[in-house]
Amino acid sequence: MTLYYRDDTVRVTSDTIHVNGLAPVPIAEVSYVWHARARGTARTRGRLLGRGALIFLLSIPPLVAMICVLALAYSAQDRGEWKLAALVLAVCVVGALALYPFLELPLYWLDRSYERGVRVQELWVQYAGHEVLLLRTSDALRFGQIYRAVQRAIEQHSPEG
């Protein structure tokens, strides 16, 4: 028996598909597997809203800095105080480089929001003449791993595979 995928609620082997709450589905009896998109949930809509807010908040400081630099350069041109403008610009650059490591956490959150996805995916199989919903999740990374594991199990079990 080959194990293709396992987590707390799903186990896909070369013989069966086990999903919590459902009877094991024998791979030999699966004739078709497909996936579908379902309606979003409050969680997925909140994740999308949070992603947009995070992108907006991460884009504000660079825009403010650009406006300040442009205003400083424009005022230095009028006054002829290029040394002061260069000093302020250098302080801004050093400050930005000092704050750069603190961007790691918000960028991680942004990256993780793409892994989790904002759509609800469903995994369906047809076996023993019935269509059965095996899994419904909004975690895109996990769904992809499970779907591919089921496909591999079926491919390896089929006579042509």
- pLDDT for residue 150: 94
| Res. 7 pLDDT band, cuts 50 70 90 | very high
Q: What is the pTM (predicted TM-score) of this model? A: 0.61
Tokens, residue 158: 């089929």
Q: Which residues contact 146 (CB under 8 A, 6 or more apart)?
A: 5, 10, 12, 123, 135
How far apart are the C-alpha atoms of 127 and 133, rounded to whole Å?
A: 11
- pLDDT for residue 77: 65
50-101 pLDDT per residue, tens: 777 777 777 777 777 777 777 777 776 666 667 777 777 778 778 777 877 7
SS3 content of the chain, % helix, strand, coil (to 5): 60, 25, 15
Look at residues 120, 123, 146, 144 and name the one whose alpha carbon lies nearest to residue 47. 120
- pLDDT for residue 80: 64
